[in-house]
Amino acid sequence: MTTIVDLPAAAQDATRQPARRRRRVRSTWPIVAVLLGPSAILISLFIVLPAVYGLWLSLTNTQLTGFAARDPKFVGLDNYVYLLTSSDFLASLGQTGTFLLFSAIIGQTVLGMVAAILLSRPWVRGKGVFGAAILMPMVVPEVVASLAWASVLATSPEGTLNRLTSLFGAEPTSWLQTVPMVAIILVNVWRGLAFAMIMFQAALEDVPVELIEAARVDGASATQVFRHVTLPLIRGPVFLYLLLTTISTVGVFGLVYFLTRGGPGGQTRLAAIYIYERALQFSQIGIGSAASIILLVIVLVLGVVYVRLAKVKV
């Protein structure tokens, strides 16, 4: 025997809701498909598919030239074993790490923060000029920036830096030969400073003034206010910036390639330059792809670490 029990109105409403939601979903899916479809197709075509193809290539001995180009073969993990035991590749990873640490994580972040703090001070005069000067490197195209620095660091006595040092009686120096890594780190700091400053400036503006004033009333020094009030409140944007600058710095190619071509003696052969040389100059697409995948994994791991540290949703 079946007993029919009238449900309370709220319960009836609850049972009706999924059905209504299903109907709403059914009625909206075409517009959702049309709106998301193009981006889904583009992402699949230009990001997912090439990534999967790159992964496949990394497992083959594909070359672009020579008889080997006619018949690429599946070689399993051989390319990875080759790279992870190659002193050249490991050296390029080391150089990338040095470049990343000093130019992006320390240089851009610290100087960007200093610039942002200075610009947020009410007593600072000429903010417009200062801000514009810092922003300029970001708006200059990469090739133009490289050309400008090639001129600044030129070996000849006419090089801008050599002209400056000659004022103190110094002989002309081949900066890109004697201190190549320092030179490219400085150039990258110069170029990335503006983005850091903009991000930190926006973050600092969101810090409630009352909190800072309260800390000051309690006797905190400027350093203590920054360390214990400001910094914890802008931790999210700081780690987000670190994530973004890590990704972009690991991928830096044109700026360094134009200045040093990875030299002298491979001292500035960053991973991106190593990959370019292998894949495109020497036509070893299989090895180049494997090196790219290794770099991708390293960046992913760093990204996860940053996100965990920041506890921010990306």
Q: Please tell me whether the peptide bond between 180 and the residue prior to it is cis, using omega within 30 degrees of 0.
A: no
CA 158 to chain CA centroid, nearest Å: 34
Beta carbon nearer to another protein, 227 or 261: 261
Q: What is the rounded distance in angstroms from the CA atom of residue 200 to the CA atom of residue 205?
A: 9
Beta carbon nearer to another protein, 256 or 294: 256
Q: With binding defined as CB under 8 A, does residue 172 bind another protein?
A: no
Q: With binding defined as CB under 8 A, does residue 266 bind another protein?
A: yes
Beta carbon nearer to another protein, 103 or 146: 146
Q: State the sign of the Cα–Cα–Cα–Cα dihedral 136, 139, 140, 143.
A: positive
Q: Which amino acid is at 304?
A: V
Q: By three-state DSSP, how is residue 217 classified?
A: helix
Measured from the CB of residue 66, what is the shortest distance to another protein in angstroms?
5
User: In terms of residues, how long is the chain?
Assistant: 314
Q: Among 297, 287, 262, which residue's Cα sits nearest to residue 91? A: 262
Q: With binding defined as CB under 8 A, does residue 148 bind another protein?
A: no
Of the candidate residues 208, 261, 304, 309, the single one contacting another protein (CB under 8 A):
261
Q: With binding defined as CB under 8 A, does residue 165 bind another protein?
A: no
Measured from the CB of residue 190, what is the shortest distance to another protein in angstroms?
20
Half-sphere exposure of 287 (CA within 13 A, CB side): 22
Measured from the CB of residue 67, what is the shortest distance to another protein in angstroms?
5
Q: With binding defined as CB under 8 A, does residue 70 bind another protein?
A: yes
Of the candidate residues 47, 69, 90, 300, the single one contacting another protein (CB under 8 A):
69
The window from 90-98, 197-205, 257-265, 289-297 that contacts another protein (CB under 8 A) reads: 257-265
Q: With binding defined as CB under 8 A, does residue 123 bind another protein?
A: no
Q: With binding defined as CB under 8 A, does residue 289 bind another protein?
A: no
Of the candidate residues 116, 183, 259, 299, the single one contacting another protein (CB under 8 A):
259
Question: Dihedrals φ, ψ of 65, to 5°?
Answer: -130, 165
Over the window 74 to 93, marking each residue x when it contacts another protein by CB under 8 A and - when it does not, the resulting string is: --------x-----------
Beta carbon nearer to another protein, 62 or 109: 62
Q: By three-state DSSP, how is residue 86 classified?
A: coil
Q: What is the rounded distance in angstroms from the CA atom of residue 177 to the CA atom of residue 166?
A: 18
Number of residues located near another protein, criterion CB under 8 A? 32
Of the candidate residues 20, 24, 30, 232, the single one contacting another protein (CB under 8 A):
30
Beta carbon nearer to another protein, 30 or 157: 30
- Interhelix angle for 127-139 vs 180-205, to 10°? 130
The two structure tokens encoding residue 280: 């495109």
Q: What is the rounded distance in angstroms from the CA atom of residue 221 to the CA atom of residue 136?
A: 33
Q: What is the rounded distance in angstroms from the CA atom of residue 230 to the CA atom of residue 203?
A: 9
Q: With binding defined as CB under 8 A, does residue 174 bind another protein?
A: yes
Q: What angle do CA 104, 286, 95 make, to 5 degrees?
A: 25
For binding to another protein (CB under 8 A), which residues are involved? 27, 30-31, 34, 38, 63-70, 82, 155, 174, 176-177, 258-266, 280-284
